[in-house]
Amino acid sequence: MYKPRVLLAAAALILLLVLIVSHASSDAHIREQLRVKQQHADELSDYVQQLAVEATSFTDESLPTPAQLCTNNTLTLAIVVPFRRRDEHLQVFLPWMRRHLLTEHAVRTQEWSKGKADPLKKPICRFAKFVVVEQADNLPFNRNWLLNIGARYAHETYAADVVALHDVDTLPMDGVSYLTVPPLPLQLSAELDRIGFIPASPHHTGGVNLLQYAQLVSVNGFSNELDDSAEGKNFFKRLQSVGWLHNAKVMNRPPVGEGRFFTLSSRFHNTHSKTIYDDSGLVKSIKGWFSNPLEDVVGPMQADGLSNARSNLKELVEVSEDTVLLRVVPQ
């Protein structure tokens, strides 16, 4: 006869094996669910890409710039787009954005004619340019650096008071406003189709941001050194450090329903982000992020950002009357 201890040990071993197999099966099931969801999201984005191409193929005329949209002031908007090897996206982005800006302007004009102007919303009356900044090398894609270069160029060349810092694969739906001066830096793309139009995590600042150029200067823009897995968090802390957040723990966003965007097909994502490793091989931007005090950001902020973003301009292309393309490489 088996001793009780032997039986108990055997039973425990069998139970452990069952749990391991069950856990592995559960993990496999979860992975399969995630794979199917991602496949569905990709298929939807492919479909949206096709619809967007068809919708914009009829209205591809550039805007006369600078476009004078009202006479209340001379506040000027430029839309800055970091770019590399996304031609399929750019071909949709430009006509889509032209249509969106003209539609927003028409709706606003109609509201004003009916005496419905909101006195708390300061209008932007001029549109300068789409400033597309292309990284013209094969180094890892550095979105932050391109945004710094593009925003500074837009301000110095076109006197842009307000800049929309805009991913090329992210397109606004009706209700998103670009033609109102944000009192605080604003993440416009708060609700994305890929996550069910649910507001993004509190610290997320990627996608599309609208802010006054002076506000960007006050935080020295974006870090030129961090990879894109941490760039948003760093920008959030920069805004937090100088009091540009209405709620210090959450990124400023438009009211629910006014920050809805859809994203174009990821099949055209050919960029590779900048990643920096320390001596131990860990990603510098991630290690210790959540334990780093705010003052750890404020110091480097003054030495790393808009003020020291350097580039060599390889080519300047007037794509159309309303669009300029800067091909740049690091200096």
Residue 75: predicted pLDDT = 96
For residue range 190-212, list pLDDT tens digits in order.
Answer: 999 988 898 888 999 999 999 99
For residue range 99-145, list pLDDT tens digits in order.
Answer: 999 999 999 999 999 988 888 899 999 999 999 999 999 999 999 99
Task: Please check the confidence at residue 321 and state whether its pLDDT lies above 70.
Answer: yes
AA letter at 227: D
Residue 162 to residue 185: CA distance in whole angstroms:
10
Residue 23: predicted pLDDT = 58
Domains of the chain: 56-330 (3.90.550.10)
Distances (CA, A) of 55 to 63, 209, 320: 18, 25, 20
| Exposed / middle / buried, residue 94 (Cβ in 10 Å: 0-12, 13-18, 19+) | buried
Residue 28: predicted pLDDT = 63
pTM of the model: 0.79
Task: Please check the confidence at residue 164 and state whether its pLDDT lies above 70.
Answer: yes
Residue 275: predicted pLDDT = 42
Residue 272: predicted pLDDT = 46
| Exposed / middle / buried, residue 298 (Cβ in 10 Å: 0-12, 13-18, 19+) | middle
3-state SS track over the chain: CCCHHHHHHHHHHHHHHHHHHHHHHHHHHHHHHHHHHHHHHHHHHHHHHHHHHHHHCCCCCCCCCCEECCCCCCCEEEEEEEECCCHHHHHHHHHHHHHHHHHHHHHHHHHHHCCCCCCCCCECCEEEEEEEEEECCCCCECHHHHHHHHHHHHHHHHCCCEEEEECCCEEECCCCCCCECCCCCEECCCEEHHHCCCECCCCCCCCEEEEEHHHHHHCCCCCCCCCCCCHHHHHHHHHHHCCCCCECCECCCCCCCCCEEEECCHHHCCCCECCCECCCCCECCCCCHHHCCCHHHHHHHHHCCHHHCCEEEEEEEEEECCEEEEEEEEC
Cα-based angle 142, 182, 49 (whole degrees, multiple of 5): 50
- Between 271 and 79, where is the model more confident? 79
**27 Ramachandran zone, left/alpha/beta (phi>0; psi -120 to 50):** alpha
Q: Yes or no: say if 220 and 301 are a contact pair by the CB < 8 Å rule.
A: yes
Q: What percent of the chain has pLDDT over 70?
A: 70
Residues comprising the chain, all counted: 331
Task: Please check the confidence at residue 84 and state whether its pLDDT lies above 50.
Answer: yes
Residue 295: predicted pLDDT = 55
Q: Render the burial of 263-286: b for 16+ CB within 10 Å, e for the rest.
A: bbbeebeebeebeeeeeeeeebbe
For residue range 24-43, list pLDDT tens digits in order.
Answer: 655 565 566 555 555 555 55
For residue range 17-29, list pLDDT tens digits in order.
Answer: 665 666 565 556 5
Residue 169: predicted pLDDT = 95
For residue range 90-101, list pLDDT tens digits in order.
Answer: 999 999 999 999
Q: In the block, which residue shows the tokens 């419905």?
A: 116
For residue range 166-187, list pLDDT tens digits in order.
Answer: 999 999 999 999 999 999 999 9
